[in-house]
């Protein structure tokens, strides 16, 4: 795709442009080793939300029995927490752009700890739901504000790799959370997993307090102080972040990312009722172990996709004679969105129906690993692209996209078990594979026509000079 003059992003800067040199100073505030420490700290904070959600899923049947409810009703706790996370992510991200990233982490993590205590102590479904909301709200700062930190400290050509490392480290949570939750449920109680979340939240708060510096542009913090903190607090509307979805590029790619992520949830959430039922596995610890391949796929896929995305930017920029076209980064997502994601969920559905016994179990483990890689091959370049085109509002853009995804997934997850009971596992997985291919088509559309789409609605896109 050739650049057009319509787009505000495609102007080629002069190397000695004073604006570029001034902006580049922001990336020189921290040494490479200090940046690695920052990434480690925010990755640990971002791991907690995945632990909170992943450790809960294998315990759904046991929680339902203990609280005198049913699996679909307790599964609503997953949907409620996802919906809450979408609102919380918007709130924390918006305030992080005014008060700073560090300040937000120091307030959200205690909220997570309190919510975890409440969930661990719940003895009725309404109480469980309430504390899951508190827990999810506190945990929701991790990914969006963490992505904002990455945008604060890493240059354009380094950002994808850093984002991939951040995702890969934080996504270790999905690899171990279901297994840990399953072990706790089978050999002790699901409540033990929630107490463990309280401890982990506490041990996320401590390194943030000790070692996370403020990474937000000092000029933004100074403007907040000049306006007055209390007045600024009252005037901030967290839902203003959703205005970035007016951009066709962001909205379309958010839908595409949602289509990919839905395949992960349709494989994971009903595991006890699909693979567990088909292969006669009732041990919660073994059910939790089935989450490991997808988690390890995330760990492998995220940093690999990040490096690929950066190399793609560098390659196409060189090919264009130094001109930067933001959509070039999205080319790194094509294999994940077009092959790994839809094929993994389609093959999983066919395997559950037609391949019995041990061979079926082994194949399902392969498809879960394949899905984990594919989802990160899709989402990592998309996330880095959001930061590229709206650098000054990176956390808000990430939060708006994530909240949109979470709301859709919240409704979708609530209907997954009823849909499987109605039309079967294979038909359900096939349906979500088709949805994933539609998402792949949307990414292609953005690569081909992204410059024109940005010209339709200018929401203050970044340029090379301030990226």
What is the tens place of the pLDDT at every residue in 398-447? 888 888 887 788 788 778 888 888 888 899 999 999 999 999 999 999 99
Q: Which residue from 303, 330, 328 is spatially nearest to 161, judged by alpha carbons?
A: 303
Q: How confident is the model at residue 10 (pLDDT cuts 50, 70, 90)?
A: very low
Contact present, 46 and 398 (Cβ < 8 Å) = no
Residue 66 pLDDT > 90: no
Residue 14 pLDDT > 50: no
Of these ranges, 136-145, 175-184, 232-241, 367-376, the one predicted with the greatest mean pLDDT is 367-376
More confidently predicted of 35 and 3: 35
More confidently predicted of 442 and 143: 442
Instruction: Quote the pLDDT of residue 19.
Output: 61
Q: How confident is the model at residue 178 (pLDDT cuts 50, 70, 90)?
A: low
SS3 assignment for the chain: CCCCCCCCCCCCCCCCCHHHHHHHHHHHCCCHHHHHHHHHHHHHHHHHHHHHHHCCHHHHHHHHHHCCCCHHHHHHHHHHHHHHHHHHHHHHHHHHHHHCHHHHHHHHHHHHHHHHHHHHHCCCHHHHHHHHHHHHHHHCHHHHHHHHHHHHHCCHHHHHHHHHHHHHHHCHHHHHHHHHHHHHHHHCCHHHHHHHHHHHHHHHHHHHHHHCCCCCCHHHHHHHHHHCHHHHHHHCCHHHHHHHHHCHHHHHHHHHHHHHHHHHHHHHCCHHHCHHHHCCCCCHHHHHHCCHHHHHHHHHHHHHHHHHHHHHHHHHHHHCCCCCCHHHHHHHHHHHHHHHHHHHHHHHHHHHHHCCHHHHHHHHHHHHHHHHHHHHHHHHHHHHHHHHHCHHHHHHHHHHHHHHHHHHHHHHHHHHHHHHHHHCHHHHHHHHHHHHHHHHHHHHHHHHHHHHHHHHCCCCCCCHHHC
The stretch 307-321 carries a mean pLDDT of 91
Instruction: Quote the pLDDT of residue 235.
Output: 59
**Mean pLDDT (the chain, rounded):** 83
The stretch 257-284 carries a mean pLDDT of 80
Structure confidence by residue, pLDDT tens digits, 242-253: 888 999 999 999
Place of tokens 């795709």: 1
More confidently predicted of 255 and 458: 255
Residue 230 pLDDT > 90: no
Residue 8 pLDDT > 60: no
Residue 227 pLDDT > 60: no
Q: How confident is the model at residue 16 (pLDDT cuts 50, 70, 90)?
A: low
Q: How confident is the model at residue 352 (pLDDT cuts 50, 70, 90)?
A: confident
More confidently predicted of 223 and 421: 421
CATH numeric code, 31-208+236-466: 1.20.1250.20
């Amino acid at each position: 795709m050739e650049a057009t003059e319509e787009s505000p992003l495609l102007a080629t800067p002069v190397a000695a442009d004073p604006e570029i040199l001034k902006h580049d100073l922001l990336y020189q505030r921290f040494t490479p080793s200090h940046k690695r420490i920052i990434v480690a700290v925010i990755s640990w904070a971002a791991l907690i939300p995945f632990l909170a959600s992943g450790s809960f899923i294998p315990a759904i049947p046991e929680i339902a029995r203990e609280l005198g409810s049913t699996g679909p009703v307790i599964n609503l706790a997953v949907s409620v927490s996802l919906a809450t996370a979408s609102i919380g992510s918007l709130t924390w991200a918006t305030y992080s752009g005014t008060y700073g990233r560090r300040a937000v982490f120091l307030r959200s993590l205690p909220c997570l700890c309190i919510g975890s205590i409440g969930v661990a102590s719940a003895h009725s479904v309404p109480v469980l739901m309430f504390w899951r909301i508190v827990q999810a709200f506190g945990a929701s700062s991790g990914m969006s504000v963490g992505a904002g930190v990455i945008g604060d400290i890493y240059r354009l050509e380094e950002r994808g790799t850093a984002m991939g490392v951040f995702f890969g480290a934080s996504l270790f949570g999905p690899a171990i959370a279901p297994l840990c939750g399953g072990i706790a449920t089978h050999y002790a109680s699901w409540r033990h997993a929630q107490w463990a979340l309280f401890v982990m939240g506490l041990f996320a708060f401590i390194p943030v307090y000790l070692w996370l510096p403020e990474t937000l542009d000092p000029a933004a913090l100074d403007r907040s102080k000049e306006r007055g903190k209390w007045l600024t607090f009252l005037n901030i509307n967290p839902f203003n972040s959703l205005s970035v979805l007016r951009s066709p590029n962001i909205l379309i790619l958010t839908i595409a990312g949602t289509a990919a992520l839905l395949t992960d949830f349709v494989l994971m959430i009903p595991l006890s009722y699909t693979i567990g039922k088909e292969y006669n596995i009732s041990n919660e610890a073994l059910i939790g172990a089935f989450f490991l391949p997808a988690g390890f796929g995330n760990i492998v896929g995220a940093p690999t996709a990040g490096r690929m995305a950066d190399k793609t930017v560098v390659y196409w920029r060189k090919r264009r004679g130094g001109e930067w076209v933001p959509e070039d980064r999205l080319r790194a997502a094509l294999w994940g969105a077009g092959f790994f994601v839809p094929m993994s969920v389609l093959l999983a559905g066919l395997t559950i129906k037609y391949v019995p016994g041990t061979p079926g179990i082994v194949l399902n483990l392969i498809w879960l690993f394949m899905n984990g890689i594919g989802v990160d091959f899709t989402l990592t370049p998309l996330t880095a692209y959001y930061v590229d085109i709206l650098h000054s509002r990176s956390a808000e853009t990430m939060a708006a996209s994530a909240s949109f995804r979470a709301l859709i997934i919240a409704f979708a997850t609530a209907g997954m078990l009823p849909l499987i009971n109605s039309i079967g596992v294979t038909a359900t997985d096939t349906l979500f594979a088709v949805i994933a291919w539609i998402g792949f088509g949307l990414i292609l559309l953005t690569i081909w026509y992204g410059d024109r789409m940005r010209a339709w609605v200018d929401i203050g896109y970044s340029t090379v000079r301030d990226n």
